[in-house]
Structure 1
Amino acid sequence: MSDTAKQATGAARQQPDAAGPRKPGLVLALLAACALMIVLDSTVVYVALPKIQQSLEMSATGLVWVVNAYALAFGGLMLLGGRAGDIVGQRRVLLVGLVIFGVASLLCGLAPSPEVLIAARALQGVGAALVAPTSLSLIPINFTDDAARNKAIGVYTGIAAAGGTLGLIIGGVLSDAASWRWVFFINVPVVALVLLLAPGALKESQPQRGSLDVVGAVTSTGAMVALVYALVRTSTKGWDDAIVLACLATAAVLFTVLVLAERRARQPLLPLRLFTDRVRASGFVTLLFFPAAFAGMFFFLTQYFQGVWNYSALRTGLAFIPAAVLVLVAAVLSGQLVPKLGPSVVAGIGAVLTTLGMIWLTQISADGGYVTSLLGPLVIAGFGAGLIYASVTASIMSNVAPEVTGAASSVLQAVQQIGPALGLAVLVTAAGTPTDPVEGMRRAFWVAALIAALPAVLALFGRRSRTN
């Protein structure tokens, strides 16, 4: 039996109801809410950090760990969370992850000391590592029609991509109007509502018989934690730091052991056949490098708005709204374009637009104006990003066997987690420390433009592979 026939048979066995969910709007709203919460908690805390430091009398090092504890747990356990969904059931793992995430959010808001807050943030990351891959995996399970699935993925990825900007705005409003604790408390009622509605609205996947790959779980978690920590540390300590080099070497060794072990495992945590399809493999590479450029744009423009133009944190978040809106619009539009043009063409168009936006940003100056200097590139880059995220995600998730949907989702989101950290490390190095900070930003945007152009090349490669 061919691979295509196997996938079709597996999909039919897993989803007896080909008509899709009875309430597709509710299903999509629940899954999108999960994605939004996870992305929000990656950025909403940034704006609240000064008030957290003042309230808990936290050191600068401790403040960094408020961010890093979440990132390390989230990135380190991502592969494990997705594969657990394949074996146990995607909906079941999603609900467990939501409980952990909700309890951790409550503990973060109630934290009486820095140590409790950092520990609760790590627990939040554990919950996020279960929620993120399973919420995406449940889209092809609940939306079996191609058109409905592409539309759902477009909305999901658009909301997730725009969520980072929304987090800056919500964090600024809540920390100023109420308290920094509310940037965490706000998750609790959302989690409660999703837990109430999800069991009756979401279809469950067909659990795969077998046990969890322990060797794969240990090596993948260790490798991801070492890699994410190395990239996070690089932005402040540089590439020649001894700890950074040791972590990178550790990650390389553990990834090598992981590949060797997965080749022999009966039920591998990371099925290597996910990477044998050239189109899917190019999609993973795209979602590794493109977020590196796009997240770098947000990082340097944040420094530009606050350091050069003296914007407040809230005003900075508001300045990014055009990009966030265009990301969402383009992602939804992508769901209509992909069936007509194909994902490779849509992704290629998005890459070209984003590259043009980055090149435009290389012309920024200290005395420029928002409308004349920045609105244009934000709109172009945002629209291009929405096309890329949605089309590549649809390509990966629509071309995978049902029994490894969770694994594919976890790899997809793991590379998206690593990408921004990698981009920040590379672009900060490219910017250097010039006397004029704007000059360093221009250099960083030139490098970001080169990185953003890579998906255009991969899109042509993927289109040729599809044709062949």
Structure 2
Amino acid sequence: MSRTVSSARTPNRWWALVVLALTQLVVVLDGTIVNIALPQAQEQLGLSDVERQWVVTAYALAFGALLLLGGRIADYWGRKRTYLVGMLGFGVASAFGGLAQNGTELILARGLQGVFAALLAPAALALLTVTFPGGRERNTAFAVFGTVAGAGAAVGLVLGGVLTEFADWRWCLLVNVFFVIVGLIGGMLLVKESKAEGDNRYDVLGAITVTLGLGSLVYGFSLAEGGWGELDTIGFLALGVGLLVLFVVIERRVAQPLLPLRIVTNRVRGGAFLVQAIVGSVMIGAMLYLAFHLQIVLGLDPLPAGLASLPMTAVIMVVAPIATKLLPAIGPRPLMIGGPLIAAAGLVYLSFITADGSYLVQVLPALIVIGVGMAMVFVPLQNLALSGVAPHDAGAASATANSAMQIGGSIGLSVFTAIYASAVSGFSPAAGTAAGVAQLQAFTSGYSAAFLASAVGLVLASIIAAALIRGSKEELLPQAADPSSAALPVH
């Protein structure tokens, strides 16, 4: 048996949703908010290029590697308790980073942010799962949560631009303290405790292997930016894969697994996790190159560059409520198949950018189309990833969903960087082209290649959804009061 919170016993559940969605926004936007601020931070702290890269990688590495362990801690120790500890630690780490005096301190702070985010994110999503167990309210709650999560990367670029231009890069980290205060107060007042009861022994060996495996995988892909054939790149990737295989073997044999394989072997949930990984790669990886194009090629300052990415977020916010109303009528499958294809079309259009092109003609229409497609995906995605999960496994399933997005983003960023580098090195300017113009043309060629690769990934996501996310809308969307009674189809 598990102690759960039904919506009938949670009168403040919609205010709790606001707090939990805010939490997800903070976790996601922190992956991108420092991107625009990095040039200023590098100059003030004297960071090397390697240190600058690790400001981004340290967060992704700690976050992605520890998510599954964080999810099980939430299940066993208490989701509200884990949420509050994660929120407090995240705030302290953010303040430390905002006051950093050198590169080592900043990188350490970003790593600590990732550690506490690995507690915070699965706890928040698990609390949402048990607060809205089923029915129309659950669909609405997950649509809101998924939309906020999906828009977080773009919001991070905008907020980073505002803070960098009008304040200082340090406020890109210090601003989290205000979010943390709201999250702590809201969490204490509005969120009810829940945890998995019964035999809750920790799977220590599983925790070690998956943490080292995911860490090695993320680190290996970060090294791939310097070349896929390098010995250290191949070594860390191989080590990561080997440790993850060993993790699966361990999980099949232990009585209390860190990640019950029933969570990922379900056909529908497995498909949702794969789509989530690809979407993460696009939202984190491709959007970074959009920021580069806006600033480096189009010459926009940090704030205008951040605002220039805002139309996509605005479209997501407009289309998401429409998709939410469509969800119970047509089911999640059409949205999961059509959404990635629409977003892919926008990215294909974006791949035709030129060094002398305009934002209004070459970028804005693409962002609108991408926003429409992404909204269609975000609305059902989190719901499908957690549908049919027993309350005992809510934290582990939530961690898997977050891990898919984070690991997908890290891998996507590395893959897109390699594609970008290859396109730039292979670019040949026309005879007589000025050196400065040729350099911008080379950059644009690289960005275009990254956008095209993102489009291919989203087409693959649509194919995965068509192949794996099957069943009637009644089967795919839980309507029962207890999520454990709404099993997903496995045919």
* 2:352 matches 1:346: no
- What's the CA shift string for 1:111-157, capped at 9, x where partnerless? 23322222222111111111111111111211234211111111112
Residue 310 of structure 1 aligns to a residue whose secondary structure is coil
1:14-163 matches, cutoff 5 A: 14-15=3-4, 17-19=6-8, 21-163=10-152
* Contact 1:345 1:463 (C-alpha < 8 Å) held by counterparts: no
Aligned partners of 1:251 and 1:318: how far apart in 2? 38
Q: Give 1:216's aligned residue.
A: 206
Q: Give 2:414's aligned residue.
A: 425
- What's the CA shift string for 1:400-438, capped at 9, x where partnerless? 111111111111111111112222232333342223423
- TM-fit CA distance, 1:255: 0.4
Q: Give 1:449's aligned residue.
A: 455
Aligned partners of 1:156 and 1:310: how far apart in 2? 34
Aligned partners of 2:365 and 2:343: how far apart in 1? 11
Aligned partners of 1:363 and 1:55: how far apart in 2? 36
Aligned partners of 1:358 and 1:57: how far apart in 2? 36
* Matched letter for residue 203 of structure 2: D
Q: Give 1:4's aligned residue.
A: none
Q: Which ranges in structure 1 are unaligned for 5 or more consecutive residues?
A: 1-9
* Contact 2:164 2:302 (C-alpha < 8 Å) held by counterparts: no
**TM-score normalised to structure 1 length:** 0.92
Alignment match of 1:404 (pick from 385, 389, 393): 393
* Contact 1:88 1:208 (C-alpha < 8 Å) held by counterparts: no
1:43-442 matches, cutoff 5 A: 43-209=32-198, 210-235=200-225, 237-431=226-420, 432=422, 433=424, 434-435=427-428, 436-437=441-442, 438-442=444-448
How many residue pairs get aligned? The number is: 456
Aligned partners of 1:201 and 1:255: how far apart in 2? 38
Q: Give 2:481's aligned residue.
A: none
* Contact 1:20 1:143 (C-alpha < 8 Å) held by counterparts: no
Residue 195 of structure 2 aligns to a residue whose secondary structure is coil
* Matched letter for residue 217 of structure 1: A
* Contact 2:213 2:241 (C-alpha < 8 Å) held by counterparts: yes
Aligned partners of 2:340 and 2:109: how far apart in 1? 38
Pairwise CA RMSD of aligned residues?
1.9
* Matched letter for residue 314 of structure 2: V
Gap change, CA 1:26 and 1:239, over 3 Å in 2: same
Aligned partners of 2:93 and 2:218: how far apart in 1? 21
Residue 47 of structure 1 aligns to a residue whose secondary structure is coil
Q: Give 1:7's aligned residue.
A: none
* Matched letter for residue 105 of structure 1: S
* Matched letter for residue 185 of structure 1: L
| Identical-pair percentage | 36
Q: Which ranges in structure 2 are unaligned for 5 or more consecutive residues?
A: 429-440, 473-488
Q: Give 1:460's aligned residue.
A: 466
Gap change, CA 1:322 and 1:56, over 3 Å in 2: same
* Matched letter for residue 319 of structure 2: A
Gap change, CA 1:363 and 1:249, over 3 Å in 2: same
- What's the CA shift string for 1:11-46, capped at 9, x where partnerless? xx5336441521233111110111111112111112
Gap change, CA 1:454 and 1:204, over 3 Å in 2: same
- What's the CA shift string for 1:179-222, capped at 9, x where partnerless? 22222221113212221231221122233332211001101110
* Contact 1:140 1:397 (C-alpha < 8 Å) held by counterparts: yes
* Contact 2:58 2:110 (C-alpha < 8 Å) held by counterparts: yes
Aligned partners of 2:195 and 2:446: how far apart in 1? 52
* Contact 1:347 1:459 (C-alpha < 8 Å) held by counterparts: yes
Q: Give 1:5's aligned residue.
A: none
- TM-fit CA distance, 1:83: 1.3
- TM-fit CA distance, 1:254: 0.5
* Contact 1:157 1:331 (C-alpha < 8 Å) held by counterparts: no
* Contact 1:21 1:143 (C-alpha < 8 Å) held by counterparts: no
Aligned partners of 1:160 and 1:20: how far apart in 2? 26
* Contact 2:5 2:131 (C-alpha < 8 Å) held by counterparts: no
Q: Which runs of 4+ in 1 moved over 6 A?
A: none
* Matched letter for residue 442 of structure 1: S
* Contact 1:350 1:387 (C-alpha < 8 Å) held by counterparts: yes
Aligned partners of 2:267 and 2:316: how far apart in 1? 27
- TM-fit CA distance, 1:465: 4.8
Aligned partners of 2:261 and 2:99: how far apart in 1? 43
Residue 46 of structure 1 aligns to a residue whose secondary structure is coil
- What's the CA shift string for 1:33-63, capped at 9, x where partnerless? 1111111211111222222223223322222
The answer to which of 237-246 and 55-64 deviates more is: 55-64
Aligned partners of 1:169 and 1:296: how far apart in 2? 16
Gap change, CA 1:361 and 1:31, over 3 Å in 2: same
The answer to which of 179-188 and 266-275 deviates more is: 179-188
Residue 239 of structure 1 aligns to a residue whose secondary structure is coil
* Matched letter for residue 327 of structure 1: I
Gap change, CA 1:24 and 1:390, over 3 Å in 2: same
Aligned partners of 2:284 and 2:320: how far apart in 1? 17
Aligned partners of 1:295 and 1:177: how far apart in 2? 24
* Matched letter for residue 447 of structure 1: A
* Contact 2:224 2:233 (C-alpha < 8 Å) held by counterparts: yes
- TM-fit CA distance, 1:334: 3.2
